[in-house]
Amino acid sequence: MAGLATAPVFAADAPQEPAMSATDDPYLWLEDVTGEKPLAWAREQNARTDAELASTPGFDALQGQVEAILDSKAKIPDVEKIGDYYYNFWKDAQHQRGLWRRTTLAEYRKAEPRWETVIDLDALGAAEHENWVWHGADCLREANGHYQRCLVGLSRGGSDADVTREFDLDAKDWVEGGFFRPEAKGDLGWIDRDHVYVGTDFGPGSMTTSGYARIAKLWTRGTPMSAATTVYEGKNDDLAVGAFRDRTPGFERDFVNRTIAFWNDELFLRSADGTLILVGAPNSAGKDVHREWLTLQLREPWSVGGHDYPAGALLATKFDDFMAGKRDFAVLFTPSDTTSLEGTTWTKNKLVLNVLDDVKSRLEVLDPAQDWKATPFTGNGGIGTLSARAVDNDDSDDLWLTETGFLTPTTLSLWKSGEKPEALKSNPAFFDASKDVVEQQFATSKDGTRVPYFIVRPKNLAFDGKAPTLLYGYGGFEVSMVPSYSGVVGKAWLERGGVYVLANIRGGGEYGPRWHQAALKANRHVAYEDFAAVARDLAERKVTSPAHLGIAGGSNGGLLTGNMLVQYPQLFGAIVIEVPLLDMKRYSHLLAGASWMAEYGDPDTSDWDYIKTFSPYQLFDPAKTYPPTFIWTTTRDDRVHPGHARKMAAKMLAADKDVRYYENTEGGHGAGATNRQQAHLWALTYAFLWNELAKP
C-alpha cells in the first residue's frame, strides 16, 4: 500500500467507530488482533493450509530454492553513503534478522568486500528478548562533515509502529541517556546534535483518526519528551503532521508538513522565531526544495503568472523568489499521451528525471547551470526499468544507476559526472531465462481505454489456451507497476513453464496523475474493468484460458483480487489475496484505514452507495461458485488490519467454498519478517497456484 506508516497494532486503539454487533457481522470477533480466540483460529487455518500445500510433491525443494534466493550472498548489497563509509543492511541464513554493516568504496568495488558489523540485529534481539526488525537509520552530519550520531528505528515483528534509539557510530553502541522515542507510529528527526523534531503518540488526542502524529514538537536533549515544545498542531481528521530540517550545508531550512489526505498537503517554511510561512503551491502538487531550487510536480492543471500548466508537468524556480511572490517557472517536463514523470532525484547540482513512455523507462539528467540542459540515459533500450539515486547529494553529482528487467538480473553502476557509468555489481541469474521472451501488449477496457500489460512467456508457447498463467496487478495510489527481476517468480513460476503477466491498470501511476485519478472513488470500477480486460485479452490470444489463469495482488492489490473473486469469478482458475482490504464498510475504522478515504471514499456517508459496489466482503454470495482461493496476511500488519483477511476467509469457509488461509505471526505489511518466513509463505503461494492452474 502506498503511503505513510499507519496506526497502532491493537484494534482497541483504532478511532471511535459506529457500534456494530455480531448480528450485523458474525465474524467481528476476528478483528481482535491479538485475542486468543482469533489467534487460535489462525493457527488452526495455518495447520490446515500446511497440511494441504506443504505436503505436495516438490514443496520442500521449492521452499529451499526460494530461501536460497532470498539468502544468497551473491545478491547486490545496496548501500547508502554516510560520511566516508558505505552502509548496507543485510539478511541471510546466518543473520535472519540482519546486520547493519559498512565498508569503503574501494572494498565495495571488490567481488567480496570486507564488511564491518555496526549493529547485529539477531544478537540485539536475543540479548533484549525482542523480535526486532530493521526500520532504518537517520544519521547526523556534524559541522566538520563527520557522522557520529544516528537515530535508529526498530520494529517489533515488522509492524509500522516502532521505537527510535540514538546510536553512536564511532563507539558502535547505543548512547546512554540518548534520545529515545517509545513504540508508536511516529518519527524522530535531527535538527542538530542536541535538538530533534518529534511526532508520536503524546497521549490522548495527539494522533489523527488515521493513526499518525497530529502534533509536531521540538525536543531538546536532556529534557523529557513531555517537555518538548509544540511546533504545529493539525486537525484530528488530517492524515499526518511532521516537522523536519533540511540539513543541506549552506541551505539549512526548517519545514512543517501538514498532510491532509493523499496528494493533498500544505508545506510551511518555519522561521527562526517559529513563524510558519505557507509555501503557496497547489496542495495537490509534489513539492521539493533542494538548495536554491523549488520543483513542483503538478497533479492538477494550474494557471498562475499568466501561464497554464498541465497536470503531470514539472516546474522549477528559485525557492527564495517563489517565497517573495514571483511565479516565473522553467518547465522541465510536460507529459504526452504516452509519457509520464515517474519521479525525480537531486544530486548536489543536477536533477534526474525518471520518465515512463508506455511504461518503459528512461532517465534524463538536467543541469540548471546550463539552462536545464538534458543528458539522456537510455539503458539497453529494451523492456526494462532504469532508475537512479544520488550517492551523496550534499557533496557530489555521483549517481547509483540500477537497471533491471523480467529476465535480466539487476545490475548496479556508479556514474560520475562526465564519465561513463562504472558497472559495480550484478545479481546472479537465479533461474534459467533462456527459454523465455518478454512482450508488451495492450487490452481494450470496457470504456475503450487502451490498457498496457507485460507478458513473460516461453518462446515456444503453444498458444492453445493451456499455459498456467499468473496475472499480477495493483491499480492504486499512483503506484506504477514496472518490469523488474525477481528470482522467486523466475524459479517458482517461469522456470517451470508458467507465464507471468503484469497489468498496468488505471489507479496506478503509469500514465501520470490522469491514470490514477481515473479510478478514484466512484470510478473505482474502471480499475477492475481494466484488469478483467487483460484477463480476457490473454484468453483471446490463447495464451491461457480461465481454468489456467490465476491472479495475485497485495494490499490495494488484495482489494483488486478480492473484487475479481466476487465480480469476475468466471475469468479465473485460482485467486491469491495478500494482506488485503476487503471489508470496505469498516475499513476506515480499522487501523490506518481513515488515511485512504481520498482514494476510496467515506463509507459512513452517502459514499457507501458506490463503495458497496467494490466491497468484496459485502459482495460475497454463498450461493455463487468461486474459484479456489488463497488468502494470507500477518498478525503484525498494523497498516491493513488482518481482520479483513480473517473475516473473508471465515465467511468463505462457512459457505463451504474452496479457500485456504495463512497468517504469519510477524512480518508487518508483507510476507514475513525473516527470509525463512517469507520463503515458506511464497512456497505455499506458488504451490497453490501451480496445483490449481497446471491441471490438464
Domain boundary among 383, 402, 427: 427
Does residue 180 fall inside a structural domain? no
* Model confidence pLDDT, tens digit, residues 585-631: 999 999 999 999 999 999 999 999 999 999 999 999 999 999 999 99
| Position with higher pLDDT, 500 vs 665 | 500
- pLDDT tier at 24, thresholds 50, 70, 90: confident
3-state SS, residue 487: helix
Mark 410-437 as b/e (b = at least 16 C-beta within 10 Å): bbbbbbeeeeebeebbbbeebbebeebe
Q: pLDDT above 90 covers what percent of the chain?
A: 93
Same domain for 451 and 420? no
Same domain for 481 and 362? no
What Cα–Cα distance (Å) separates residue 511 from each residue in 379, 482, 682? 20, 12, 30
Could you tell me if 342 and 480 are in contact, meaning their C-beta atoms sit under 8 angstroms apart?
Answer: yes
Domain boundary among 427, 445, 466: 427
* Model confidence pLDDT, tens digit, residues 52-90: 999 999 999 999 999 999 999 999 999 999 999 999 999
Average pLDDT of the chain? Answer: 95
Q: Tell me, what amino acid is at 186?
A: G
Same domain for 643 and 518? yes
Strand order from edge to edge, sheet including 659-664: 436-444, 450-458, 499-503, 469-472, 549-554, 574-578, 629-634, 659-664
Residue 404 has pLDDT above 80, yes or no: yes
Residue 352 has pLDDT above 80, yes or no: yes
* Model confidence pLDDT, tens digit, residues 420-443: 899 999 999 999 999 999 999 999
Does residue 676 fall inside a structural domain? yes
Same domain for 514 and 475? yes
Q: Tell me, what amino acid is at 612?
A: K
Q: What is the pLDDT of residue 4?
A: 25
How far does the chain reach from its first CA to its final CA, in angstroms? Answer: 36
Q: What is the pLDDT of residue 491?
A: 98
Does residue 127 fall inside a structural domain? no
* Model confidence pLDDT, tens digit, residues 289-333: 999 999 999 999 999 999 999 999 999 999 999 999 999 999 999
Could you tell me if 101 and 117 are in contact, meaning their C-beta atoms sit under 8 angstroms apart?
Answer: yes
Cα–Cα dist 552/411, whole Å: 27
**Which residue, 213, 196, 223, is CA-closest to 138?**
196
* Model confidence pLDDT, tens digit, residues 563-594: 999 999 999 999 999 999 999 999 999 999 99
539: left (phi over 0), alpha (psi -120 to 50) or beta: alpha
Residue 124 has pLDDT above 60, yes or no: yes
Same domain for 496 and 469? yes
Residue 680 has pLDDT above 70, yes or no: yes
Residue 21 has pLDDT above 60, yes or no: no
CATH code for the domain in which residue 449 is found: 3.40.50.1820
Does residue 639 fall inside a structural domain? yes
Angle of helix 556-567 versus helix 643-654 axis, rounded to 10: 20
Cα–Cα dist 661/653, whole Å: 10
Does residue 564 fall inside a structural domain? yes
- Residue among 555, 588, 595, 615 flagged as catalytic: 555
What Cα–Cα distance (Å) separates residue 292 from each residue in 246, 295, 320? 12, 10, 7
525 is catalytic: no
DSSP single-letter state for residue 305:
T
Residue 419 has pLDDT above 90, yes or no: no
Same domain for 646 and 511? yes
Specify which residues 340 forms β-bridges with.
Answer: 356
Residue 363 has pLDDT above 60, yes or no: yes
Same domain for 470 and 410? no
Residue 672 domain boundaries: 437-693
DSSP single-letter state for residue 506:
B
Instruction: Return the C-alpha cell found at 83.
Output: 560520511
150: left (phi over 0), alpha (psi -120 to 50) or beta: beta
- pLDDT tier at 689, thresholds 50, 70, 90: very high
Q: Which residues contact 129 (CB under 8 A, 6 or more apart)?
A: none
Q: Which residues contact 186 (CB under 8 A, 6 or more apart)?
A: 164, 198, 199, 200, 201, 212, 213
3-state SS, residue 335: coil
Q: How many domains does the chain have?
A: 2
Pseudo-torsion of CA 169, 170, 171, 176, nearest 10°?
-60
669 is catalytic: yes
* Model confidence pLDDT, tens digit, residues 243-265: 999 999 999 999 999 999 999 99
Domain boundary among 393, 427, 461: 427
Same domain for 561 and 462? yes
Residue 99 has pLDDT above 60, yes or no: yes
User: Within 13 A of 289's CA, how many CA atoms are on the CB side?
Assistant: 23
Does residue 495 fall inside a structural domain? yes
Does residue 32 fall inside a structural domain? no
Same domain for 615 and 595? yes
Does residue 57 fall inside a structural domain? no
Cα–Cα dist 17/604, whole Å: 10
- Residue among 95, 589, 644, 669 flagged as catalytic: 669
Same domain for 556 and 412? no
Same domain for 378 and 446? no
Same domain for 600 and 486? yes
Q: Number of helices and strands (H, E) in the chain?
A: 14, 39
Q: What is the pLDDT of residue 379?
A: 59
